[in-house]
Structure formats: structure tokens, C-alpha cells
């Protein structure tokens, strides 16, 4: 005789939230896991990043000391994983666009968890249609401005070139790029804030804020952090940001501009210790608290 009890485990939700704080009808934030990986060149495993972050988030302290707030009270919905399309990155970008658009149309703040960086383009496309004056703030070790790489114009090394074709971009933390990308930056009068410019005592936000429009989409390739802080990435680069340095950039942006959506990408859990997933879960939680009023 069968049991009347539900034998299935509940879907994993960010921070282990339960209704009403995870209820789709009330949540003002939606987290979209996108376990897509097809154009990475070196260390693989970004497809495992989204669920690793969600699993680690179960151990978060829901009170944030820095802001004296409990960000979860705005409601955080965890969407099912978006099934990858393996016919090519351009088709996957379209799938992310469709999924992002459906969330944005509900008036929710969307946080996309990657997966490789190419997926960011789909979310930016949806936000650009909603906010025509959108600009994009990219925190990243790499410029990602190649026109084509490994036979595609839609891979992770080209994502910001495609984004730039849609809207203005501001880059910070860059410390590795090709000669082609350096020439593109010069020809298009871009003004990245290179890591070499982020010396102690220099306020990076003072340089970044004037370049941003009122509505901002934030894309964070987690290799912007130094490998001593975040070793679990596909292409680690020495000389990166520390935890507080990253927050010191994002915090003023949230205060003086409106961050309308964001993503965290390029996390490879197998390439580092378990604390890396927890660090990113805490980062996402803090950014939700800064970007979404009323938490």
C-alpha cells in the first residue's frame, strides 16, 4: 500500500527559503540557474556552478551585518535550472533571452547564475528591451571583446563585444586581453578601469559612476577576484580583486544608480575548495540586499 506522504525532496532553493519568502507570487527577486558550458577553453566545470552556489547558500546567516538588513524579506524565488541547448552558443543565448524576458516582464529583479559568460548576452538583450538607456558594468579579469574565437562570435571570449553592440559597457578589474582587444578599446574610446589602476587609496567608483547610465546591469565573472580568494575558475589570473575591493566598487553603484539585474558566471566548483561556493552565495545575497530596496 502506498504512502500518503510526498516521497520527493523539495526543490533546492536559495538560502533554503520556504514560503512565503520563496513564493513566486510574492518574490521580488528570481534566481535563474543556467548550467551551460560549451565554449570554455581551459578548465571546465562551470555547468556545476549554479547548483553549487545554491547548495552552499543553505548555510548563510540571513541577517547582513554590514547593511543591518535581512535581504531575504523581499522574497527570493529559485527557478528550475534552464536546460542547455547544445546546438551552439547563439541558440543558448536565445534561450536565456526568452527565460530572462519572462522574469523581467513580471517586474522581478533577475539574478542569473552561470555557467559560462556567454549566457550574459541573453539577459542583457532582455533588459535592453525593457530599459533602452541601459548600461552594463562588467567586473572581470578578461576583456571578452574578441569579435570571434574558436569559430564562434557568441562564445565566452566574445560576450562583451556582442553586449557593446547593444549598449554602453564599463569594464573594471581587467588584467588580461589580446592585442586585438586592446586595439578595439582604443578605436572605440573605451576606458576600462584596469587592475593596475585600482591601487590602494584610489576610489574606483569615482571613475566608474560617471560612465554608467541610470539603469545598470551588473555582470561579474568571478575570476575578477584574485586566485588567492577565488581559485575555482576556468581561467585564473593573478593580481585580482579582494572581497572588500569588489564590494567597494559595487556598493556606490547600487547607491547612486539602479542595478536592475545581474549575473555571476564562470565558477568551476571542482577547481577550488568548498568555501568558494559559499563566498559566491554570500556575495549574491549581499548584492541582492544592495540592489533591491526594502530588504
Residue 150 lies in a domain: yes
> What digits encode the pLDDT tens for the residues 73-88?
999 999 999 999 988 8
Confidence of residue 216 (pLDDT cuts 50, 70, 90): very high
Mean pLDDT within 241-257: 96
Rounded CA gap, 295 and 291, in Å?
Answer: 9
Identify the domain containing residue 231 by its residue range.
14-291
> What pLDDT does 44 receive?
77
CB hemisphere CA count around 70 (13 angstroms): 9
How many folded domains does the chain comprise?
1
Tell me which residue of 162, 161, 207, 168 sits closest to 184, measured CA to CA: 161
Mean pLDDT within 204-233: 96
- More confidently predicted of 42 and 292: 292
> What pLDDT does 75 receive?
98
Residue 236 lies in a domain: yes
Q: What is the 3-state secondary structure (H, E, C) of the chain?
A: CCCCCCCCCCCCCHHHCCCCCCCCCCCCEEEEEECCCCCCCCCCCHHHHHHHHHHHHHHCCCCECCCCECHHHHCEEECCCCCCCCCCHHHHHHHHHHHHHHHHCCCCEEEEEECCHHHHHHHHHHHHHHCCCCEEEEECCECCCCCCECCECCCCCCHHHHHHCCCCEEEEEECECCHHHHHHHHHCCCCCEEHHHCCCCCCHHHHHHHHCCCEEEEEEEHHHECCCCCCCECCCCCCCECHHHHHHHHHHHHHHCEEEEEEEECECHHHCCCHHHHHHHHHHHHHHHHHCCCC
Q: What are phi and psi of 122, to 5 degrees?
A: -60, -40
> What pLDDT does 139 receive?
98
For residue 139 the three cell numbers come to 567586473
CATH value at residue 87: 3.40.800.10
Arithmetic mean of pLDDT over the chain: 93
Asked if pLDDT for residue 201 goes beyond 90, the answer is no
> What digits encode the pLDDT tens for the residues 53-66?
999 999 999 999 99
> What pLDDT does 198 receive?
85
Asked if pLDDT for residue 100 goes beyond 80, the answer is yes
Residue 8 lies in a domain: no
Tell me the pTM.
0.94
- More confidently predicted of 5 and 19: 19
Q: Which of 133-142, 144-153, 201-210 is most confident? A: 133-142
Asked if pLDDT for residue 200 goes beyond 90, the answer is no
Asked if pLDDT for residue 26 goes beyond 90, the answer is yes
**pLDDT more than 70, % of the chain:** 95
> What pLDDT does 285 receive?
98
**pLDDT more than 90, % of the chain:** 85
> What digits encode the pLDDT tens for the residues 231-246?
999 999 999 999 999 9
Amino acid at each position: 500500500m502506498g504512502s500518503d506522504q510526498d516521497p520527493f525532496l523539495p526543490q533546492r532553493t536559495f538560502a533554503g527559503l520556504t514560503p512565503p519568502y520563496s513564493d513566486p507570487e510574492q518574490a521580488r527577486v528570481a534566481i535563474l540557474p543556467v548550467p551551460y558550458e560549451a565554449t570554455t577553453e581551459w578548465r571546465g566545470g562551470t555547468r556545476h556552478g549554479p547548483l553549487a552556489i545554491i547548495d552552499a547558500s543553505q548555510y548563510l546567516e540571513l541577517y547582513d551585518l554590514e547593511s543591518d538588513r535581512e535581504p531575504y524579506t523581499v522574497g527570493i524565488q529559485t527557478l528550475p535550472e534552464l536546460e542547455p541547448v547544445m546546438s551552439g552558443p547563439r541558440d543558448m543565448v536565445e534561450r536565456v533571452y526568452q527565460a530572462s524576458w519572462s522574469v523581467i516582464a513580471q517586474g522581478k529583479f533577475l539574478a542569473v547564475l552561470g555557467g559560462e559568460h556567454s549566457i550574459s548576452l541573453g539577459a542583457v538583450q532582455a533588459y535592453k528591451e525593457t530599459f533602452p538607456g541601459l548600461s552594463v558594468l562588467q567586473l572581470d579579469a578578461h576583456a571578452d571583446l574578441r569579435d570571434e574565437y574558436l569559430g564562434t562570435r557568441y562564445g565566452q571570449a566574445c560576450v562583451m563585444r556582442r553586449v557593446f553592440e547593444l549598449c554602453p559597457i564599463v569594464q573594471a578589474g581587467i588584467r588580461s586581453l589580446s592585442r586585438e582587444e586592446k586595439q578595439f578599446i582604443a578605436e572605440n574610446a573605451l576606458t576600462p578601469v584596469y587592475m593596475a589602476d585600482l591601487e590602494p587609496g584610489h576610489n574606483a567608483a569615482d571613475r566608474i559612476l560617471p560612465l554608467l547610465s541610470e539603469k545598470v546591469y551588473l555582470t561579474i565573472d568571478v575570476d575578477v577576484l584574485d586566485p588567492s580568494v577565488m581559485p575555482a575558475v576556468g581561467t585564473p589570473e593573478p593580481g585580482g580583486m579582494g572581497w572588500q575591493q569588489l564590494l567597494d566598487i559595487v556598493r556606490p553603484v547600487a547607491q547612486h544608480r539602479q542595478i536592475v539585474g545581474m549575473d555571476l558566471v564562470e565558477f568551476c566548483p571542482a577547481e577550488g575548495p568548498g568555501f568558494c561556493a559559499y563566498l559566491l552565495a554570500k556575495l549574491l545575497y549581499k548584492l541582492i540586499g544592495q540592489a533591491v530596496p526594502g530588504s
